[in-house]
Every structure is written in C-alpha cells, then in structure tokens.
A and B are shown apart, each in its own frame.
Chain A
Amino acid sequence: MDHAIVRDWIDEAFFAPGARDADDEAARGARAHLAQCVECAAYDEQTRRVALKLDLARGPSPEVRTRVLAAARRTQRPDTARQQAARPAAGQPWWRTALAWRLAAAALVIAVVGVGAGAWWANASHSDSDADHLTDAVAMMSTLASQPGAVEVVLRDAAGNGSGMAVVSAASHQLAVFATHLPAAVAYHCYLERGGQRTWLGRMYVTPGVQFWAGDMDAGIDMQPGDRLVVAADADQPMVLSATL
C-alpha cells in the first residue's frame, strides 16, 4: 500500500467514526503501513491531533446527557426499588412504573393520532391498520428501552434539529423508529448506513404527525457503534433524518 492511498484512508477516517478500527482490507493495510512508515505515522498523528482539538473544544454531544437521564429513568435505583416494593403506592413517581410508562405512551399515541384525525381519515390512502401498528410500535419501544444494552438515539435533520428517536436492542435484534414533522405524502424508509452503503431496514408507516417503523431486523444485519440510522425517501435519496449509533 503506497503513501497516497494510506493518507487518503487517514483523511477519510477523520470524518468516519469507527473507520479506524474497521476490520476490512483497507484498514488492515493502512494500519500495517503506519506501523512501519514514519512519515505517514506523523501525518496520521497530525490528523488525529486535529480531531482531538476539535473534540476537546466542542465538549460532549448533548445527546449524552439525554441518554444518561433516559437510562437512569429506565434503570430504577436498586434501593429506591426496594423502598417502593415495601411501599408500593407511597411516594412513587407515576412516571417510574412500566405500566404508567405504557399508559403515557398510549396517551401519546392517542393524542398524536387524534390531532388532525379528521383530515387524515378523510384522505387516508393507507389502511386503518397503521394506527394499530403505531400502538404496537410504541409498546415495542417501551419494551426495547427496558432491555439491557438498548441504545436510544435522537434522529436529526440536516440542520441538526431533533425530529424523532429510535431505540435499538442488540439483545433482541429489534428496532423501533419514530419520526415527526415529515411530509405525510411521502413514503420514507429506514436504512442502516455504514461506509456510505445503505442497508434497507423497512418502510415506515404513516400516521398524522408520526411516521414510524418497528420490528425485527433481518438476521444478516449487524448494527455496530458508529453505524448511522438513516431515514430517506429512497436508498439513493439524501437522508432526511439520521442518527449515529
């Protein structure tokens, strides 16, 4: 592998989280070259120092705080749980119970579906089962969120605005995706994107105000940290929402 190819790889890895640790031929070749080429190793260190300084100056992503608080909410403190077992009705915040969580989620569904429902039912080209699917999808989301190792991400548009969320469970190999503020007239799809390549996950269901998809991922799909979850109108179309897992 010559110097130019390795330096191209270094430049590309600068913009692609996880690329440096990839187990593909290019990454292996580049790592082997860097181990023995002083000039390219210096180029690599310079490039990584740029990334380090940018990241230090920026601080942690706001999503980390959201994830911490969401995980804390899902993971009731052991001693708090014991206290509540002893006093099931006393002092227990309503949002802490799984049942209340599901009821709240159901209320959300009802509210979301309820808003504009008249217009939707009048114009709906989709079957009324989409609303049923939404209820199921929200229930699945709450189930996935409680599983060990579940990952929750905020979906953002190109401008960085949060417009949805997704929960991925490696344990059950399932995924739930919810997007808001997307045009109802357009059918969107969910993709897993790695190295610029997209793998189709599913076509999103449409309800007023919410487009969503939830279910089992195909056995061949192997989500990894650094992969991107992408919502787009088609595989070749620009993403409208995305999140890095």
Chain B
Amino acid sequence: MGVRNSGRSDEELVAALVEGDEAALGELYDRHAESLFRAALLRLGDRGLAEEVLQDTYLALWNRAELFDGRQGSVIGWLSTIARNRAIDRLRSSARRPAPVALSGLVGTGADPASAADARDAILAAATPLAGVTAAPDPEREVDMAELRREVEQALADIPERERQVLMLAYYDQLSQSEIAARLAWPLGTVKTRTRRALARLRDTLGEQWRN
C-alpha cells in the first residue's frame, strides 16, 4: 500500500474522513487523483468531463466514507468504481459526444463508447480495479505514462519556440487569439498562422496511435 505525507494508510485516511478530517481528503486526493483522472479521460475523451468525474468521485468519498468496507476491497478500487460509474453516467447523458479516441492500437476504435470503455478497462486494470480487487502497483503502466510524457515533451520541444509559445497560451492557458496577439504584441494573423502550424506539427508527431 503506497503511503504519502502523513504516513497513514488509505484505510486510516478514510476512517479519518468519517470523523470529518478534511486533511485526510486532501491526502487521498494527492495519492490517487492523477490515476483516476487519467482513467476518466481515456474513457470520456474530454478533459473537462474527466475533471468533473474526478471532483464528483472525491465528493462522493467525502459524503459516503462510512460506507467503505476494507474487507470488501481497497480504497483505490472503491474510488475507481465510483469514478467509472460517474463516467458512464456522463457518456449516457452526452448522446452527441463522439467516441473517445484510441490512444493505443491495443484499443478498439468502435463507435460504441461503452465498448471502447470496456476495452480500455483491460489496459487500465491496475488503475481502475473493480471493487473487491486489491490495487497493486503496475510498473508497466507507470512506464507507459513515463513514455507518454517523454513523447509529449519531445513533441513540444520540436516545435519552433514562437509556435510553441502561442500553442501553450492557447491550449493550456485558454487565451483567445486576440488575447495572445495583445499579450505578445504580434499581429492577429501571425498568431493564427503560428497556432495552426503548431497544431499541424503536433498532429504529425502525437496524432498517430501510441507506439506502445
């Protein structure tokens, strides 16, 4: 069982939640939020929705911590089940939403989101165990994420600096092209051109299915 910060186990933190310990909630968030987010993002294909699922999952934990039974499974297994159900709820309520894209050739690209989601479960088994299954470290998955991060970092590094600058402002900071033009004192047309070029470069480097 991985332990961070206070040295308390996941189960001890959940017990503290029942007593209203907000710090315990923060600690459980720090331990598991990233893997829960990744699983939700792969399932939903939408960053905003994945963050909503993450938030809902932790609020459900906060409100229903007393329902956790350590004899039935691990805390991460329980959290993963909650997150999975929340994600399925959103898929069902988003009839217009296209099927999530396949990250890897191992995952089917069928139009039925539920099928794609089921396929992803096989890859994300360690991050999204069903209740009753003890979560175990998954070195292969960690290696995969490390590889993905390297791939992204390299792709961004390969973009000319000015194009990368405008891409970061537009994508990560969500600035409009007009705002970027004002901030960088560039003509709006230049911003648009560099934004398109940067995205085209990323499509060439990151747009293909994952090598792993």
Chain A residues in the interface with B (C-beta under 8 A)? 11, 14-15, 17-18, 20-21, 31, 34, 43-61, 64-65, 67-69, 71-73, 75-80, 93, 96, 158, 160, 193, 196, 225-226, 228, 238-239, 242, 244
Contact = CB atoms under 8 A, between A and B. Distances in A.
Given A48-B45, A244-B174, A77 B65 contact: yes
Interface in B49-66: 50-51, 54-55, 58-59, 62-63, 65-66
B59 A15 contact: no
Contacts of A11: 196, 199
Contact of B38 (A14, A56, A65, A158): A56
A85 to B, nearest CB: 13
Interface stretch (B5-13, B14-22, B72-80, B132-140): B14-22
Given A60-B34, A68-B25, A196-B178, A77 B18 contact: yes
Given A54-B171, A75-B59, A158-B179, A46 B33 contact: no
A72 B59 contact: yes
Given A54-B171, A60-B54, A80 B63 contact: no
Interface string B174-212: 111111001100000000000110010011001111100
A17 B206 contact: no
A14 to B, nearest CB: 6
Query: Number of contact residues on B: which range applies?
Result: 35 or more
B25 A49 contact: no
Given A49-B103, A51-B47, A69-B26, A64 B199 contact: no
Contact of B202 (A17, A34, A50, A238): A50
Secondary structure call for the A interface: helix
A238 B20 contact: no
Nearest to A49: B101
Contacts of A225: 48
Interface string B134-159: 00000000000100110111000000
Given A18-B48, A21-B96, A75 B62 contact: yes
Contact of A238 (B50, B109, B170, B179): B179
Nearest to B19: A80
A69 B179 contact: no
A193 B179 CA distance: 12
A160 B48 contact: no
A47 B25 contact: no
Contact of A17 (B169, B174, B195, B209): B174
A21 B97 contact: yes
Find the residue from B18, B206, B208 having the highest chain A CB count within 10 A: B206
Q: Which 7 A-B pairs have the closest CB atoms?
A: A46-B207, A80-B20, A238-B182, A57-B152, A60-B37, A48-B101, A55-B47
B51 A56 contact: no
